[in-house]
Copies of this chain bind each other. A is one copy, B any other.
Amino acid sequence: MYRTHNCGALRIADVGTSVTLSGWVQKSRDKGFMMWIDLRDRYGITQLIFTEEATPKDLFEKARSLGREFVVRVEGKVIERASKNTNIPTGEVEVEVTALEVLNASKVPPFTIEEETDGGDELRMKYRYLDLRRGNVQKNIIFRSELAIETRKYLAGEDFIEVETPVLIKSTPEGARDFVVPSRMNKGQFYALPQSPQTFKQILMVAGFDKYFQIVKCFRDEDLRADRQPEFTQIDCEMSFVTQEEILNTFEGLTRHLFKQTLDVDLPTFPRMYYDDAMRLYGSDKPDLRFGMPFVELNDVAKGKGFGVFDNAELVVGICVNGLADQYSNKDIKKLTEWMQRPQIGAKGLVYVKFGEDGSIKSSVGKFYSDEDLQAWGAKFGAEKGDLLFILSGETDKTRKQLNELRLEMGSRLGLRKPEDFKPLWVIDFPLLEWDEDASRFHAMHHPFTSPKKEEIPNMLNGDHETMKNLKADAYDLVINGVEIGGGSIRIHDRELQSKNFKLLGFTPEEAEAQFGFLLGAFEYGAPPHGGIAFGFDRLCAVLNGQNSIRDFIAFPKNNQGRDMMIDAPSPIAQEQMEELGIDLALSEDPLIH
């Protein structure tokens, strides 16, 4: 037997007990006549003690020879510590070792196995098995496991059934790029990995499963960013015979449950905001509500006073930052303006108005506007002495996007985006369609299965571009602290409406049939009204922990090139494997390279 207890188990009540422990050597302290070793496993750390009086000489020497991360098995007796450590649960006791067996040696790790490690990203990814030994990383992975347990507990309690949908499915060019899998048994044909189980969960509703969920891997072959992975995990859900209202309530319930169970946080009731209002007030469909600073539009008070930039702008809009007027020097504002002018944001300039504590008013556009004019602006913000206005202008969508960046930046600078503060929000009534300027066509804003609002159905396919652009859908996102953690919609369950929607999205009837014929067919056999939602599970883990990167919550993440650094994948395969699959590497288009 390797152990009678784990390394986090022993307490003062165990004093006198003979125990066997196994674990890793975290560190040793050698005082010559006395030596301590911290023995570590997932459960904790137990201190081992070796003394000149009590420990046989050869055992003492053996203990001395142990390096960091050696795996050992020890026998000994639990004794009370002379100097106790109240910071750890096992801190009142130590084990006086009587036998020691080295189960496995360890080379010196390439970085320190500590919360604050000296290992760089690449090194830690290559030696992920060592990186995962670090307490904080291990904690994240264990948190993820608990979050999944609580998710399942809640949903099962609400009569949801977890159904596994297939991973080898069919490629549908709509949306992001598919990963594909050549079929050996059906040469020249390919499976695709699912970008989500969307059509399958709808099929399950048609099949009468009523409430479905699945914690499931999804795959997108997209160019990667820090918060994107080629494979990621969703909490995928669908319900039949439901209204949007019932869906929002159910998943508000799930979210509150998860926060309560994992963080002991009681979330307030989730406010709801129309998509249009979110864009107008925050310039974003995922506003961070941990702080205010809503947008105020100034077209009526800022135009027509001879300042050409504003006069010619589609939108003049600003935010009011409380108490900053006397703190931000002109130099500070100049720097901020430059920050806004970086290509990532692309603002042309940044207008300010300072309402000084002393009653003074200063503005970069002071020569175009009287103090009275500027007071009128301030009044629209409810600005008081000491407040600072930042104002942008230009084309509506772009300007809002830029001001959103500024608002978030000011929130961060003022410390208003506290990681332990959680502000959930339902954003509802998303548009049905999104205009793709480059392709000069509409895309589905959510996905092609999203139902337009009932009252919009007569407006579909009427050909008027503006009407199409403004069609609203029964689609909603759950946003927490400015991060979209879930999104869903009421689905179309009628074959004709679905066909209409495909047409709107530029599918020919033949394309629609080839790709989604099974779903259109299913709608002819008594499809119930249904809708659902999917949560980004990796992101939910990160948000609950006040962190940005989802990578820290994935045991074996891939890097930005989609590469697993530890196993070194992807990798070339044998020519015979390709032959069996009926594929070949394409010749390079460069005629010199074959």
Contacts and interface: CB of A to CB of B under 8 A. Distances in A.
Contact of A529 (B24, B103, B554): B103
A104 B164 contact: no
Interface stretch (A183-191, A428-436, A466-474): A183-191
Given A106-B524, A573-B180, A186 B24 contact: no
B567 A170 contact: yes
A186 B561 contact: yes
Given A524-B106, A529-B2, A580-B177, A210 B41 contact: yes
A42 B184 contact: no
Nearest to A232: B164
Interface in A515-541: 517-518, 521-529
A152 B231 CA distance: 23
Nearest to A246: B1
Given A103-B528, A107-B525, A574 B173 contact: yes
Contacts of A106: 524-526
B183 A527 contact: no
Contacts of A523: 104
A217 interface: yes
Interface centre among A241, A578, A579 (most CB of B within 10 A): A241
Given A164-B233, A199-B567, A526-B104, A138 B209 contact: yes
A243 B182 contact: no
A169 B568 CA distance: 9
B164 A525 contact: no
Given A181-B179, A183-B570, A579-B586, A208 B42 contact: yes
A448 interface: no
A277 to B, nearest CB: 26
Interface in A543-570: 554-556, 558, 561-564, 566-570
Contact of A70 (B138, B526, B580): B526
Contacts of A40: 208
Binding site secondary structure of chain A: loop
A581 B180 contact: yes
A62 interface: no
A107 B495 CA distance: 12
Interface stretch (A74-82, A155-163, A347-355, A500-508): A155-163
A517 B562 CA distance: 20
Contact of A230 (B168, B221, B564): B168
A247 interface: no
A203 interface: yes
Interface stretch (A122-130, A261-269, A316-324): A122-130
A164 to B, nearest CB: 6
A208 B568 CA distance: 22
A588 to B, nearest CB: 9
Contacts of A179: 168, 181, 191
Interface stretch (A141-149, A304-312, A356-364): A141-149
A219 B181 CA distance: 12
A377 to B, nearest CB: 47
Best-surrounded residue of A179, A199, A231, A517 (most CB of chain B within 10 A): A179
A488 B79 CA distance: 39
A185 B577 contact: no
A578 to B, nearest CB: 7
A22 interface: yes
A230 B554 CA distance: 26
Given A169-B567, A555-B204, A570-B183, A493 B562 contact: no
Q: Which 3 A-B pairs have the closest CB atoms?
A: A132-B207, A106-B526, A170-B569
Interface of A: 1-3, 6, 22, 24, 40-43, 69-71, 73, 103-107, 109, 127-133, 138, 141-142, 144-145, 148-149, 152, 156, 161-171, 173, 177-193, 199-200, 203-204, 206-210, 217, 219, 221, 223, 230-231, 233, 241-243, 246, 493-494, 517-518, 521-529, 554-556, 558, 561-564, 566-574, 577-587
Given A169-B569, A189-B570, A583-B586, 17 more contacts: A24-B526, A42-B210, A43-B210, A104-B527, A128-B203, A129-B207, A130-B207, A144-B163, A145-B156, A165-B556, A168-B558, A168-B564, A169-B567, A181-B181, A181-B193, A183-B562, A190-B570
17 contacts: A2-B243, A3-B241, A24-B208, A69-B525, A103-B529, A104-B527, A132-B207, A138-B207, A141-B161, A142-B161, A167-B231, A168-B558, A170-B570, A180-B182, A183-B562, A185-B223, A200-B556
